[in-house]
């Protein structure tokens, strides 16, 4: 695709624009990732835990009732919701913690906003007996008290950050400060396909298991490739993982779906965010715009550099859906298939509800079900009550 992955550039996006002391830590990480990613022992260990701990392969389920109801394409669901801890996030945190172990790290740090990435990180730290420190904005620790409790239950230390506005951005700053001071024995575990090189490349590497499996499974079931793959995009990790093995298959449409209240790919402009170049939503002052999504995992004003490049080059398409459409999709999938999707994943389902009926019976869609909706049921209950 003409991307220079060595330097971490995807067209003009990506790269690493950070202070020298942090660059030193990133260079070290890049070198170690390159060293281990193709190492047969490392691959064997990753595959062992994907099977025995995460529960992979997960199924590619034919959504028969939904497909019949829509009257168009055959819709398949890639079931990341069935993974241990209930989403695709485990694929990435598992890969990174195995790398941390190989690198001899003694502690793992991460930052979290709503808490989902913090919980995933605390989970693998518990599994591998690694000290775990999670930075979280003080305001967020109050709003997400239950996720703080989950992380503590898993043995992590949650550090509330009072600086600034006490939000995710301030937690990132604290975590980076910790990394600069301690990078020789500390591993910074990043949750999405964003940030300076090598993170977007590394996170894609570990999430690519999604499309590696789905490609094999769809060929077994249908004897051919899908016509389109649909995924929701926040930072872009489940999206890039679901697309990865189809990027060089031009017959497969790649479709990313975002909230219309955080429309980074449909309305963003090239810019810089958190040390890398990507499409970014700016306000009139040229600052990253405040976003609001009902799905906490999609609430981010930037997007991974490879998605920015796939959009610019026209290889992938991106659409925004409304809260109304997402709430509808959340209920339709629950009712027709007995699967309650995460609100994030319901964005992908919402677009499938629009696209499916326009296609013919012999066409095939894969929707990546990035997570399960148990965590969102209470919120949807409140939202539906308000609408009545
Ligand atoms: C975190 C999360 C997302 C968004 O993150 P990406 O990096 O864009 O994949 C999507 N779905 C679920 C269920 C999540 O937990």
| Residue 6 confidence (pLDDT) | 55
Tokens encoding 208:
């690519």
- Determine the Cα–Cα distance for residues 42 and 158; give it in Å rounded to an integer: 30
The atom number, within ligand 1, closest to the CA of 371 reads 13
CA 3 to ligand 1 center in whole angstroms: 24
Which of 259, 306, 371, 375 has most ligand 1 atoms within 8 Å of CB, for mutation? 371
Relative to beta strand 107-112, strand 186-188 is parallel
Q: Which atom of ligand 1 is nearest to the CA of 191?
A: 7
Instruction: Please name every residue paired with 229 in a beta bridge, in sequence order, or none if there are none.
Output: 254, 366
Residue 370 known to be catalytic: yes
> Can you say how many angstroms the Cα of residue 67 is from the centroid of all Cα atoms in its chain?
26
**Rounded (5°) CA angle 272-10-203:** 85
Q: How many Cβ atoms from other residues are within 10 Å of residue 223's Cβ?
A: 7
Distance from the alpha carbon of residue 233 to the mean position of ligand 1, in angstroms? 7
Spatial distance between the Cα atoms of 332 and 321, rounded to a whole number of angstroms: 15
**Residue for token digits 């992938």?**
316
HSE-CB of 110 using CA atoms within 13 angstroms:
30
Residue environment code for 92-122, b if the CB has 16+ CB neighbours within 10 A, otherwise e: bbbbbbbbbbbbebebbbbbbbbbbbbbbbb
Residue found under tokens 């249908």: 222
Cβ–Cβ under 8 Å, residues 266 and 258: yes
Ranges of the chain with pLDDT below 70: 1-6
- 126: closest CA among 151, 100, 154? 154
CA 354 distance to own-chain centroid = 23
The active-site residue out of 74, 89, 204, 215 is: 89
Which residue's structure tokens are 């148990």? Answer: 374
To the query of whether residue 212 is one of the catalytic residues in this protein, the response is: no
Using DSSP's 3-state secondary structure scheme, residue 36 falls into: helix
Q: Pairing mode, if any, of strands 131-137 and 107-112?
A: parallel
At a CB cut-off of 8 Å and minimum separation 6, what does 198 contact? Answer: 8, 26, 29, 30, 33, 34
Ligand 1 centroid–CA 309 distance in Å is 20
In whole angstroms, what is the distance from residue 121 CA to residue 358 CA?
Answer: 40
* Atom 13 of ligand 1: nearest residue by CA position: 371
Contact 262, 300 (CB under 8 A): yes
Q: Give the pLDDT confidence score for residue 168 in this predicted structure.
A: 83
Instruction: Please say if 89 is a catalytic residue.
Output: yes
């Amino acid at each position: 695709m003409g991307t220079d992955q060595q330097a971490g550039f995807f067209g003009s996006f990506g790269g690493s624009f950070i202070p020298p002391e942090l660059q030193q830590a990133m260079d070290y990480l890049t070198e170690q990732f390159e060293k281990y990613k193709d190492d047969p022992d490392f691959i064997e260990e990753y595959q062992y835990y994907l099977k025995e701990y995460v529960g992979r392969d997960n199924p590619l389920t034919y959504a028969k009732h939904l497909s019949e109801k829509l009257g168009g394409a055959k819709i398949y669901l890639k079931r990341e919701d069935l993974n241990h801890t209930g989403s695709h996030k485990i694929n990435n945190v598992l890969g990174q913690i195995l790398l941390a172990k190989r690198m001899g790290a003694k502690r793992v740090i991460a930052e979290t906003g709503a808490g989902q990435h913090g919980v995933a990180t605390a989970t693998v730290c518990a599994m591998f007996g690694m000290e775990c420190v999670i930075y979280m904005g003080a305001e967020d620790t109050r709003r997400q008290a239950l996720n703080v409790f989950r992380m503590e239950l898993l043995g992590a230390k949650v550090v509330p950050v009072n600086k600034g506005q006490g939000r995710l951005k301030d937690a990132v700053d604290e975590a980076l400060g910790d990394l600069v001071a301690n990078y020789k024995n500390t591993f910074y575990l990043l949750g999405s396909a964003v940030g300076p090189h090598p993170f977007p490349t590394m996170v894609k590497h570990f999430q690519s298991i999604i499309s590696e499996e789905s490609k094999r499974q769809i060929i077994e079931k249908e004897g051919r490739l899908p016509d389109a793959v649909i995924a929701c995009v926040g930072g872009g990790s489940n999206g890039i993982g679901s697309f990865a093995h189809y990027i060089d298959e031009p017959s497969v449409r790649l479709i990313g779906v975002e909230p219309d209240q955080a429309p980074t790919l449909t309305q963003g402009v090239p810019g810089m965010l958190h040390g890398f170049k990507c499409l970014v939503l700016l306000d009139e002052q040229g600052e990253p715009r405040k976003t609001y999504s009902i799905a906490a995992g999609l609430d981010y004003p930037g997007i991974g550099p490879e998605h920015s490049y796939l959009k610019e080059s026209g290889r992938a398409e991106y659409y925004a859906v409304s809260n109304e459409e997402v709430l509808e999709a959340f209920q339709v999938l629950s009712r027709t298939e007995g699967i309650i999707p995460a609100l994030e994943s319901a964005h992908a389902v919402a677009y499938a509800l629009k696209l499916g009926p326009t296609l013919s019976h012999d066409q095939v869609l894969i929707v990546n079900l990035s997570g399960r909706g148990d965590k969102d049921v209470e919120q949807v209950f409140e939202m539906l009550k308000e609408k009545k």
